Amino acid sequence: MNDARLADLREQAVRLGYGLQTMLPVSAISAPGLASLAAPFRTLWLVCNTGDAVQRRWRAGRDIEALLADNAATGAGSCGPLDDFCRAELGALLGTRAHRVLHPHPASTAPLPLLALLAAAGWLRPGPFMNTLHARYGSWWAVRAVIALDAGADAPGEALGPSPCLDCSAPCVPACPAAAVGKPGWEAQRCLAQRVTIGSGCARRCIARESCPAGREWRYEPATIAYHYGASQQTLQRWRGGERA
């Protein structure tokens, strides 16, 4: 597959909702073990959704409770229902081109150092409620895949842009029921304690995040938000169960 064909596939990915992408040289990323994970490939295709077109296509009107039940029942060889969908969709675009999907990964394998990749791409800047804020997309984007392949690396391109917080009145601060959001940063323990409280309004959404004006036009639909926060709630519950054991 030549570079023109790869460029076409990348544009197809953008049309599917994977609007933030870059090709990173493996050699430029300081992360122990990454080179061996990627070998023999020399480039990493970092792919992020922008808005929730990907998630809406995946859930296609299916019941959120059923999707969360599927997520909780993920088997050892699965990455989770949504992640499996993204792996398959992007893999189908690449077709016969040699590649290896490094992320998402089954729970039984070592996680990829995503923070190092985001830093190399210029996409790492935690916002006041922990999500990285992009000047265009706000917090409504996320890494969906990291794929090792052989291709030319991109020249430095779109970074996060100026922080949306600079000229913002910070409605996220008073909106947070747990008082976990403030100028000093995100207070994880307050946030997590609020989210696991029975009847909490934060169980399947982040009220502070939804109050942020950055990238408002890219905001996920309520059902998408409910799925993502419901899935993270499942993780919190498993973690707390293990903590008590």
* pLDDT beyond 60 at 159: yes
Instruction: Compute the radius of gyration of the chain from its Cα atoms.
Output: 18
Residue 122, amino acid: G
Which is more confident, 1 or 126?
126
**Residue 230 binned pLDDT confidence (cut-offs 50, 70, 90):** very high
Contacts for 99 with CB less than 8 Å, ≥ 6 apart: 41, 45, 91, 147, 148, 149
Burial level of 176, CB count in 10 A (0-12/13-18/19+)? buried
Alpha helices in the chain, H assignment, sequence order: 3-16, 34-38, 53-59, 64-72, 81-94, 114-121, 172-175, 188-195, 207-211, 222-244
Segment 138-158, tens digit of pLDDT: 999 999 999 999 999 988 766
Determine the structural domain holding residue 93 and report its residue range: 3-244
- Count of domains for the chain: 1
pLDDT at res. 22: 94
Which is more confident, 130 or 180?
180
**Residue 188 binned pLDDT confidence (cut-offs 50, 70, 90):** confident
Distance CA 49, CA 43 (A): 20
* pLDDT beyond 60 at 243: no
pLDDT at res. 51: 97
Q: What is the 3-state secondary structure of 9-44? A: HHHHHHHHCCCEEEEEEHHHCCCCCHHHHHCCCCEE
Selection from 224, 47, 77 nearest residue 144 by Cα:
47
Segment 20-61, tens digit of pLDDT: 999 999 998 988 889 999 999 999 999 999 999 999 999 998
**Residue 245 binned pLDDT confidence (cut-offs 50, 70, 90):** very low
pTM equals 0.91
